[in-house]
Structure 1
């Protein structure tokens, strides 16, 4: 069978256009996530230079802005601990490098000795990988980049301490990121992917479209990366709300996201099983009651409501109601009769609904009771 050239060309151009849009959307999303860090780094670098140069009178305080940016470059969620490690690593490396170079001079073997001693000293004090690396790197920079001058002796050590301290201060006090913004931007893509996968599955069951079901499954598999980003954002939000006094008031709203994460993760994995069995239903031409399709669509609505209600900081009532409606429609499909794959889909609908209800703030026990309490009208 020969395809129509116009249709082939149109399909290809559509795919290319969609991929371009997806790429641009992803890039814009990454820029939005990095915007807060970029502002912090810019302010910290300039402020560190100002303090070291204008307040302390250092001529070329190279290590001050570098140390400030290195501290802020640590991945969010590990900053507080890693920041202090990097400050210590910088200071130790620079101090050791300057002390030895003044004593034994500069050369290839002196550099090797400085690096060796810096690594061993960092390991001895129990430093992590970043601390060890920072100590060795700083010692190398001191020994190779800047010649010793008597009026600059040990000022680089002071610059590193100043830069690290400024970086921590900007991170925690001056320009702390909004933990809710960090978490919302990371949680949104996960919940959107989950809702999209469920919606596509409902459409695939209705249209008997195995290609669409396969697309839904691939999309849900790809959502694992977004789930990890969600988890990282929660670690970041928890840390920010602990160390930044300006953000202490965000703890209550942040708690909703913290409590929902594990349940959203389980819902995502249960949904993948649901979609795989839905694909089998389509491929095997297994009977699909309309109420089963309604149930999957109701789960998609529940996720959409959950995303919005968590972002608004309100009680996720509509998400809970939609999940229970999915259970109710699933029970109707079960009573009308399901095949093997359909029975698995029904079981996963109930499990996913329970996960989503738990994500709304109920305990797992309360969610299970709510699911078990659903009865069809006219049935005991």
Structure 2
């Protein structure tokens, strides 16, 4: 049995590794191609001996994951320039040794912190100073050449990113799916806690909602990376419209999760205080979780996100109809208010404006709840 368990875990790790490799295949290929081209340009075309900064700059400017690529190129070149300048000036005068290396690194990184303070800039200034102090003989010229090598590498990295661009939407869609699935899980868990009158389950739902911030941050980071790809890759600029829709979805999903936290906290408080709650509230929360699931399913179908509107409006209709017979208490009022706020956020996530979403919510309230 233990052997079978270990084999299953090994297979699971292998599958996860294969998935990570497939997702990173294009960025890895970009880095490999850029490193080779950068060395060729700096060594064979420009004629610099040992232009190791060129492929390093190309790889760092691309990176395996997306981010602020253009800023990284600038930080890289400035950091290398500072490190090489300080290293060349000092090592030529004081020689190379432990205290000399310590002094050069301290001065180079201090200058980088004073100039900007960005993490990559400071790190490159320090590492470049170390390379100059340890690998290059004192007095050897070439500081300007190494700065040029860094510039070549950064430029090649950006060029490769524009010619062999990664998918700007795929990572955004994956992050959006993860966030919406977590929102649905929080709503479903809160509904179950309310149905079973279980304060511990409500506390677990609240903890889960509070732990969702990394998912929100991941979606925003993916959006920044995708927007950067569309800036440097002319063939993918038409994808900006899709990214714009995902940017609106990210904002609304963030608000919806915040409202879900308030909802879970109020549910937990009500259950701890043994406040009454209409049993239909749990059904409404579960139905809202299902509506979030419909929206999640539509992420793979560009332009069809509006299909998720009707399930959300169904929740609003049912809430309006059921609320007529409730003698709502304070906690019930808060839960209903948060439910409606989440519904409003979800409707806006489908592409509706706030005014359109409010109008759509009022219409079913009148026809479904007052007829």
Length-normalised TM-score, structure 1: 0.81
2:175 aligned residue: 186
In the aligned structure 2, how far is the partner of 1:378 from the partner of 1:140? 73
Of 94, 113, 136, 2:126 maps to 136
Question: Does the 8 Å contact 2:61/2:76 carry over to 1?
Answer: yes
The alpha-carbon deviation at position 315 of structure 1 amounts to 3.5
2:5 aligned residue: none
Structure 1 residues 365 and 259: alpha-carbon distance in aligned structure 2, compared to 1, 3 A threshold: same
Of 222, 233, 244, 2:222 maps to 233
Of 29, 41, 47, 2:31 maps to 41
Structure 1 residues 378 and 321: alpha-carbon distance in aligned structure 2, compared to 1, 3 A threshold: closer
Structure 1 residues 154 and 109: alpha-carbon distance in aligned structure 2, compared to 1, 3 A threshold: farther
Q: What per-residue deviation string (whole Å, max 9, x for no partner) do you get for residues 231-289 of structure 1?
A: 11111122221222122121111111012222111100111222233344555262423
Check if 1:331 corresponds to 2:320.
yes
The alpha-carbon deviation at position 87 of structure 1 amounts to 1.8
2:192 aligned residue: 203
Of 188-197 and 327-336, more deviation after overlay is shown by 327-336
In the aligned structure 1, how far is the partner of 2:292 from the partner of 2:182? 10
Question: Does the 8 Å contact 1:319/1:360 carry over to 2?
Answer: yes
Of 33, 37, 56, 1:66 maps to 56
The alpha-carbon deviation at position 194 of structure 1 amounts to 0.5
In the aligned structure 2, how far is the partner of 1:213 from the partner of 1:24? 36
Q: What per-residue deviation string (whole Å, max 9, x for no partner) do you get for residues 197-251 of structure 1?
A: 2123333333444444333333222222111111111111222212221221211
Aligned residue pairs, count? 364
In the aligned structure 1, how far is the partner of 2:297 from the partner of 2:235? 25
Structure 1 residues 264 and 25: alpha-carbon distance in aligned structure 2, compared to 1, 3 A threshold: farther
The alpha-carbon deviation at position 129 of structure 1 amounts to 4.6
In the aligned structure 2, how far is the partner of 1:308 from the partner of 1:375? 29
In the aligned structure 1, how far is the partner of 2:350 from the partner of 2:227? 19
2:358 aligned residue: 368
1:302 aligned residue: 291
The alpha-carbon deviation at position 36 of structure 1 amounts to 4.1
**Gap runs ≥5 in structure 2:** 1-8
Question: Does the 8 Å contact 1:231/1:261 carry over to 2?
Answer: yes
1:318 aligned residue: 307
2:370 aligned residue: 379
Structure 1 residues 195 and 31: alpha-carbon distance in aligned structure 2, compared to 1, 3 A threshold: farther
Any residues of structure 2 matched to 1:47-86 within 5 Å, and which? 47-73=37-63, 76-86=66-76
Any residues of structure 2 matched to 1:144-163 within 5 Å, and which? 144-147=134-137, 155-163=145-153
C-alpha RMSD over aligned residues: 3.5
The alpha-carbon deviation at position 147 of structure 1 amounts to 2.5
